[in-house]
């Protein structure tokens, strides 16, 4: 087992080495961009700021509905991944190095929308909510985007085939054995995926006591057709802070071989079905006037 006592959470920079693996993270709902564009009136004329943009997944997904998009992240490695993922001749997207708390000093201007996709918890949340409020145009929105608890399965998965021959992807491949992977992490790191903090203030309540007031909750259908290879399953774990590459050091290749062998025994097809949950968006809107 490798010890993880060498650095405190404040000193670690897990996403510097995890950036390369972000592409394996499960995508949000396919309805994310069209649903938000219709609801919030995004017609390609406004500006978007994506805080904690990572490798640019959400920023690039939403870019067609804005005249300018800025992705902000404190890790240059993440921005390098974002630049490499940006399609050629994309002129309305820029990548900026910085933290959410740095926004007032960065002079980025005002925005129609500010998104934080699974990044709000890394910030000084109360301060950043107020900073974002000041960065929005009147009537603009702050959006917190994340997956709903995946322990709640989809009501009905999409199917392959037609009629009586239709077969759901989740019946063709086993689901990712997260409990098995957790056991491997405990063996290597001394602990698995951390439990949710029961004392953490719900984002809805936090936003409700800011100048935004009570946010609106929008839930969009998750993707039921995600099929993952063993490598993709492992890469997704390596993209997290609790299983990032820096925790394994030079033993990372050995860990990967160990987990690969275990996962291969869990599937006859060499693939797994993944359910990441529906996509939840909390929409906090700056009052007009």
Q: Domain of 56: which CATH number?
A: 3.40.50.150
Task: Please provide the DSSP assignment of the chain as one string.
Answer: ----TTS-TTT--HHHHHGGGGGGSPP--TTHHHHHHHHHT--S-SEEEEET-TTTHHHHHHGGG-SEEEEEES-HHHHHHHHHHSPTT--SEEEEE--GGGHHHHT---EEEEEEES-GGGS-HHHHHHHHHHHEEEEEEEEEEEE--TTS--SS---BSSGGG-B-HHHHSPBP-HHHHHHHHHHHHS--SPPP-TTSPPHHHHHHTSTT-SPEEEEEPPPS-EEEEHHHHHHHHHTSSTT-GGGTGGGHHHHHHHHHHHHHTT-SSSEEEE----EEEEEEEPPP-
3 within a domain of the structure (yes/no): no
Region 228-239: what's the mean pLDDT?
Answer: 97
Residue 80 domain-assigned (yes or no): yes
What percent of the chain shows pLDDT beyond 90? Answer: 80
User: What is the span of the domain harbouring residue 43?
Assistant: 14-155+166-194+201-285
Assess if residue 71 is contained within a domain. Answer: yes
Averaged pLDDT, 177-181 = 97
What local confidence, expressed as pLDDT, does residue 11 receive? 65
According to the model, what pLDDT value does residue 164 have?
A: 43
Quick one: average pLDDT of 248-254?
96
| Residue 99 within any structural domain of the chain | yes
Tally of domains in the chain = 1
pLDDT attached to residue 180: 97
Query: Is pLDDT at 183 greater than 50 in this prediction?
Result: yes
Report the alpha-carbon distance of residue 155 to residue 247 in Å, rounded: 37
36 vs 288: which has the higher pLDDT:
36
Residue range 227-231: average pLDDT? 97
Q: Is residue 160 part of a domain?
A: no
Higher-pLDDT residue of 15 and 85 is 85
When pLDDT is cut at 50, 70 and 90, the band that residue 84 belongs to is very high
Residue 1 belongs to some domain of the structure: no
Assessment of whether the complete model's pTM goes beyond 0.75:
yes
Would you say residue 4 lies in a domain? no
* Residue 171 located in a structural domain: yes
Average pLDDT over residues 90-112: 96
More confident residue, 4 or 175: 175
- Place 5 in a pLDDT band, splitting at 50, 70 and 90: very low
Among 80-84, 164-168, 196-200, name the most confident range: 80-84
What is the reported pLDDT for 15?
A: 75
List pLDDT tens digits, range 120-137: 999 999 999 999 999 999
Residue 184 scores a pLDDT above 60? yes
pLDDT of residue 201: 93
Alpha-carbon Rg for the chain in angstroms: 20
């Amino acid at each position: 087992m490798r010890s993880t006592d060498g650095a405190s959470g404040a000193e670690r920079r897990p996403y510097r080495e995890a950036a390369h693996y972000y592409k394996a993270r499960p995508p949000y709902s396919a309805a994310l961009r069209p649903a938000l564009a219709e609801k919030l009136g995004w017609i390609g004329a406004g500006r978007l700021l994506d805080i904690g943009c990572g490798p640019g997944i959400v920023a690039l997904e939403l870019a067609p509905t804005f005249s300018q998009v800025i992705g902000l992240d404190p890790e240059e490695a993440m921005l390098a991944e974002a630049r490499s993922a940006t399609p050629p001749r994309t002129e309305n997207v820029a990548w900026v190095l910085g933290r959410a708390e740095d926004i007032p000093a960065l002079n980025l201007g005002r925005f129609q929308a500010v998104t934080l996709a699974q990044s709000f918890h890394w910030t000084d949340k109360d301060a950043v909510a107020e900073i974002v409020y000041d960065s929005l145009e009147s009537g603009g929105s702050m959006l917190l985007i994340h997956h709903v608890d995946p322990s709640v399965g989809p009501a009905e998965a999409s199917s392959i085939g037609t009629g009586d021959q239709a077969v759901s992807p989740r019946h063709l491949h086993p689901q990712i054995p997260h409990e098995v992977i957790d056991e491997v992490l405990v063996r290597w790191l001394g602990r698995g995926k951390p439990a949710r903090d029961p004392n953490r203030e719900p984002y809805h309540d936090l936003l409700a006591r800011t100048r935004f007031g009570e946010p609106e909750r929008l839930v969009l259908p998750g993707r039921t057709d995600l099929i993952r290879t063993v490598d993709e399953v492992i890469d997704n774990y390596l993209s997290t802070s609790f299983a990032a590459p820096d925790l394994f050091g030079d033993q990372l290749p050995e860990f990967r071989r160990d987990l690969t062998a275990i996962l291969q025994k869990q599937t006859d097809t060499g693939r797994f079905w993944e359910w990441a949950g529906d996509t939840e968006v909390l929409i906090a809107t700056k009052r007009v006037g």
